[in-house]
């Protein structure tokens, strides 16, 4: 009798696990459909990077640049003179040259007219309107680090550098982009912490840092991004708690932290704010507040 009862329990357990296996993908697909539906509300020039399921993005395998590419890039950089450029300020031209040099531009998939023409607006991926307004260099085999001088592109509205081989840290100078609406750095090899200076991007609406190797805590300054609608941080090595300052992000509709070691505060204020975010894929880890026990001194 006991043996039969045990077999029944095992059968029930197997059936439950099988049911869960079929249910979870359906839930994930539902979440994906909801995410894709939200893309229709984005401006056309910003929507393109998000035509993918957030959990399907994989970091490209790192392939170092060849010595020939490094040498050719350096020769091109040394021979180009930004004083001959009139479309954009010289400081912006130099920032573009620095980006080309630090990411081995000679090895890019498409480097049409870069450092070959003095008309910056003809360079692949560069949009100009009283200065550089967009950089569209996604999936273009940029291999190297983001130069700090890129922060001198004061008119930049969208920075598309996703799907490349970018290494090193995110420069704090990217916080200088006072007109930036979208920062797209996902699916790279970026490491280090998220700069607190990104909290200065007062016009930012879309921040995608997922699929990198970022570490450390989230800066509380990100709570200053009052226009932020989308924040993707998943598949990084981030740790600690989501800052309570995030409850100020009242326009946030899309937030993902799965694949990290972040935890969620259990305060009533945070939980109430979380319920206002339409698309949320978190870690389901609640922050544990550790009590500090002081020794008792008996007299």
What is the total count of domains within the chain? 1
Cβ–Cβ under 8 Å, residues 234 and 209: no
**At 231, which CATH number?**
3.80.10.10
Is the pLDDT at 295 greater than 90? The verdict is no
Q: How far is 265 from 243, CA to CA, in rounded Å?
A: 8
Q: How far is 232 from 211, CA to CA, in rounded Å?
A: 9
pLDDT band, very low/low/confident/very high, at 288 (cuts 50, 70, 90) = confident
Residue 250 placed within a domain: yes
Provide the 10 A C-beta neighbour count for residue 247. 19
How is residue 264 annotated by DSSP? B
Per-residue model confidence (pLDDT) at position 19: 36
Residue 215 placed within a domain: yes
Nearest to 281 by CA among 44, 30, 14, 77: 30
Residue 269 placed within a domain: yes
Is the pLDDT at 138 greater than 90? The verdict is yes
Cβ–Cβ under 8 Å, residues 208 and 30: no
pTM value?
0.81
Cβ–Cβ under 8 Å, residues 174 and 151: yes
Per-residue model confidence (pLDDT) at position 58: 58
Is the pLDDT at 68 greater than 50? The verdict is yes
Q: In sequence order, what are the beta bridge partners of 182?
A: 158, 206
Of 117 and 55, the one with more pLDDT: 117
Residue 150 placed within a domain: no
How is residue 263 annotated by DSSP? E
Buried b (16+ CB within 10 A) or exposed e, 178-215: ebbbbbbbbbbbbbeebbebbbbbeebbbbbbbbbebb
pLDDT digits (tens, 9 = 90+) for 247-268: 999 999 999 999 999 999 999 9
122 exposed, middle or buried (CB, 10 Å; 0-12, 13-18, 19+)? middle
Residue 44 placed within a domain: no
CA distances from 166 to 15, 29, 103, 200, 205 (A): 46, 30, 7, 23, 23
Is the pLDDT at 3 greater than 80? The verdict is no
Residue 89 placed within a domain: no
Is the pLDDT at 227 greater than 80? The verdict is yes
Q: In sequence order, what are the beta bridge partners of 166?
A: 144
Domain that holds residue 174: 168-288
Is the pLDDT at 60 greater than 80? The verdict is no
Question: What is the H or E stretch that residue 20 is in?
Answer: helix 2-39
Tokens 């392939």, residue located: 63
Residue 174 placed within a domain: yes
Residue 242 placed within a domain: yes
Q: How far is 106 from 212, CA to CA, in rounded Å?
A: 24
């Amino acid at each position: 009798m006991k043996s039969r009862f045990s077999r029944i329990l095992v059968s029930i357990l197997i059936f439950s696990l099988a049911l869960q296996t079929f249910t979870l993908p359906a839930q994930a697909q539902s979440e994906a459909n909801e995410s894709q539906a939200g893309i229709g509300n984005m401006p056309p020039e910003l929507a393109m990077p998000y035509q993918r399921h957030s959990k399907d993005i994989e970091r490209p395998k790192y392939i170092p640049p060849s010595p020939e590419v490094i040498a050719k890039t350096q020769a091109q950089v040394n021979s180009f003179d930004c004083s001959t450029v009139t479309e954009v300020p010289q400081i912006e031209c130099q920032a573009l040259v620095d980006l080309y040099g630090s990411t081995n531009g000679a090895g890019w998939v498409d480097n049409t007219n870069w450092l070959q023409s003095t008309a910056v607006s003809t360079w692949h991926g560069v949009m100009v309107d009283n200065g550089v307004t967009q950089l569209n260099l996604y999936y273009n085999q940029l291999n190297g680090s983001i130069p700090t001088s890129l922060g001198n592109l004061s008119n930049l509205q969208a920075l598309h550098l996703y799907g490349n081989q970018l290494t090193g840290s995110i420069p704090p100078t990217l916080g200088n982009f006072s007109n930036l609406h979208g920062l797209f750095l996902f699916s790279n090899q970026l490491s280090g912490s998220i700069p607190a200076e990104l909290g200065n991007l007062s016009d930012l609406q879309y921040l995608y840092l997922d699929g990198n190797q970022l570490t450390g805590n989230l800066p509380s300054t990100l709570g200053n991004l009052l226009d932020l609608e989308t924040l993707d941080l998943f598949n990084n090595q981030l740790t600690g708690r989501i800052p309570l300052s995030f409850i100020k992000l009242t326009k946030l509709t899309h937030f993902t932290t799965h694949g990290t070691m972040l935890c969620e505060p259990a305060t009533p204020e945070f939980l109430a704010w979380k319920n206002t975010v339409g698309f949320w894929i978190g870690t389901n880890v609640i922050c544990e507040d550790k009590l500090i026990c002081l020794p008792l001194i008996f007299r």
